[in-house]
Amino acid sequence: MTSAGFNVTSSLTLLGFSSLSGHSSLLFFVFLLLYLFVLFSDSLVIYIICSQRALHRPMFAFVASLLLNFLTVSTLIYPKLLSDMLLSGAGLVQVSRTLCLCQGFFVSTLGGSSFMLLSAMAFDRYLSICHPMHYAVLVTPAKVVLMLPFCWMLPAILGGVTTLLVSRLSLCRAQLNRVYCDIDSYFTLSCGGAEAQLSGLYILVIFTATIFLPAAFILFSYARILFICLWRSRSFSSKALHTCLPHLLVFFNYTISVYLDLMLRRLQSNRESDSTLITSILMLLVPTLLNPVVYGLKLKEVFTHVKRLLSCRRDS
């Protein structure tokens, strides 16, 4: 009876705002500033990479694509988050199941594509450092053009199937202790049974294909780069590691945020707590805020053009 009632419900309740309701005005102002910063910083780095012919190289194409990915995620979440903060007087936000599933689809798809793009960047750095004589042949503009859509299409296809399977499940609960929807949290609301077990198994396969395997490949690639650097000259090793440092910072920044959120949700099973709410917010904030800063400051070529552009505008 309860299962059937929840199965036909047209809306879910996001409880995350109940913990934030006493500070909604302050948080609205803070999140608005953060979103504006993300828009400005990501757009600035992407613009510089696209407008400077000297940066029209595979590595910077991957950087621009990754920042575009995070900019899209921010635009899908921050405006909804801000509007919910204004409307959540009682700390509860109603969201339709369809909208929740759509948001979950885009969050999981863009999250998976971020790992795919990071693995493509790691492979690019591996070929550039370990096989420099063959790099121009192995990494051509045509191959980069093929790789980029693949990094988005594969997670989108897998995420679409996951969303379709999860949307068919009966729900025994209709409350999420989150401030935005994601597929894994939506799945925890299901009543169980054979269909839910099958969907849970498929979600695990998707996580393995789009998160764990790319992360393992990234670690392997950079481990090989480090091994090669140990046998080369100090100047070569210093230059190679300096080039890889921004990508490693972004990788560990994003990976720790995602894995911490997944681990806490799995450990606490169906008991959503304040810790899972905090990690879900950190998973949104930390990568989107730090990644453009890392690439803007740590990549010398980008930082040079950023300084030049900002100084020209200040002088004018």
CATH of the domain at 244: 1.20.1070.10
What is the reported pLDDT for 3? 41
State how many domains the chain has. 1
Residue 57 pLDDT greater than 50, yes or no: yes
Domain of 72 in residue numbering reads as: 2-315
A 10 A CB-CB count for 58 gives 22
Find out whether 55 and 128 touch, Cβ atoms under 8 Å.
no
Could you write out the three-class secondary structure of the chain? Answer: CHHHHHHCCCEEEECHHHCCHHHHHHHHHHHHHHHHHHHHHHHHHHHHHHHCHHHCCHHHHHHHHHHHHHHHHHHHHHHHHHHHHHHCCCCCEEEEHHHHHHHHHHHHHHHHHHHHHHHHHHHHHHHHHHCCCCHHHHCCHHHHHHHHHHHHHHHHHHHHHHHHHHHCCCECCCEECCCCCCHHHHHCCECCCHHHHHHHHHHHHHHHHHHHHHHHHHHHHHHHHHHHHHCCCHHHHHHHHHHHHHHHHHHHHHHHHHHHHHHHHHHCCCCCCHHHHHHHHHHHHHHHHHHHHHHHHHCHHHHHHHHHHHHHHHHC
Residue 6 pLDDT greater than 50, yes or no: no
What is the reported pLDDT for 227? 85
Residue 263 pLDDT greater than 70, yes or no: yes
Alpha carbon separation from 145 to 118, 149, 199, 228, 247 (Å, rounded)? 16, 7, 33, 28, 20
Least confident of 135-144, 198-207, 215-224, 280-289: 280-289
Find out whether 218 and 122 touch, Cβ atoms under 8 Å.
yes
How sure is the predictor about 19, in pLDDT bands with cuts at 50, 70 and 90? low
How far is residue 137's CA from residue 127's CA, in Å, rounded to a whole number? 10
pLDDT tens per residue across span 165-200: 888 888 888 888 787 888 888 888 888 777 778 888
Residue 284 pLDDT greater than 80, yes or no: no
- Most confidently modeled range among 134-138, 266-270, 271-275: 134-138
How far from chain centre, in Å, is Cα 48?
22
Indicate whether this model's pTM tops 0.75.
yes
pLDDT tens per residue across span 87-113: 665 567 788 888 989 999 998 898 899
